[in-house]
Amino acid sequence: MPQFIHKEAAQPWEKSSVDVLTEAVPNFSLVVWNDEVNTFEWVIETLIEICGHNEEQAEQCALFIHHKGKYAVKKGDYDTLKPMCDAITDRGIGATIEVFV
């Protein structure tokens, strides 16, 4: 959750105040796509090894991917997600990074 610091206006005659955002909110999703090639076991193993999911999280993500066609398995900043996306695609699994609002 972003943290806001309340700062008084710079000029003493101004009565308004300014909120300053001190923590950036991650605005990217690592999306894994369903296919007819990769097994559940391979996708689960990949999510555990690449994304740091525990077994239960990875299984749930794999089910969402299978039933919905794609699923955002991780949210974060681009620089963190890009190497994960590359590692997943290197394993033959479709993955993209998408901006979310």
Distance, in Å, from the CA atom of 43 to the CA atom of 18, rounded to the nearest integer, reads 46
Query: Which CATH number does the domain housing residue 77 bear?
Result: 3.30.1390.10
What is the predicted pLDDT for the residue at 14? Answer: 55
Percent of the chain having pLDDT more than 90?
A: 72
Distance, in Å, from the CA atom of 89 to the CA atom of 59, rounded to the nearest integer, reads 19
In a domain, residue 67? The reply is yes
What is the predicted pLDDT for the residue at 30? Answer: 98
Per DSSP, the residues of 42-87 read HHHHHHHHHH---HHHHHHHHHHHHHHSEEEEEEE-HHHHHHHHHH
Query: What pTM, to 2 d.p., does this model score?
Result: 0.74
In a domain, residue 40? The reply is yes
Q: How confident is the model over 8-47, as pLDDT tens digits?
A: 545 555 555 666 655 666 699 999 999 999 999 999 999 9
Strand partners, 95: 32
Q: Mean pLDDT over all residues of the chain?
A: 86
Confidence at 1, pLDDT banded by 50, 70, 90: very low
Range of the domain at 36: 25-99
Q: What's the structural domain count of the chain?
A: 1
Confidence at 100, pLDDT banded by 50, 70, 90: confident
